[in-house]
Structure 1
Amino acid sequence: MKLLEEMSWPQIEEGQRESRTVILPVGATEEHGPHLPVFTDTIEALVVARAAAQRRGVFLAPPLHYGVCCSTRGFPGTIAVGHDALRAYAKDLLVSFAESGFERALILTGHAGSQHISALKEACQMALQECDLSVSLVSLFDLIDPKAVETAGDGHAGEIESSMMLAIRSDLVAELPGKHSPQRPRFLILRSVRHLMGNGIMGDPSLATPEKGRLFLEMATEGVIRALDELESDLWRA
Structure 2
Amino acid sequence: MRTLQDFPILSKWPARHPDRLQLYSLPTPNGVKVSIMLEETGLPYEAHRVSFDTQDQLSPEFLSLNPNNKIPAILDPHGPGGQPLALFESGAILVYLADKTGQLMPQDPARRYETLQWLMFQMGGVGPMFGQLGFFHKFAGKAYEDKRPLGRYVAESERLLGVLNGHLKGKRWVMGDDYSIADIAIFPWVRNLIGFYEARDLVHYDQFTEVDRVLQAFVARPAVQRGLEIPRAA
Fold-level similarity (TM above 0.5): no
Q: Comparing both structures, which one devotes a greater share of its residues to helix?
A: 2
Structure 2 length-normalised TM? 0.31
Structure 1 length-normalised TM? 0.31
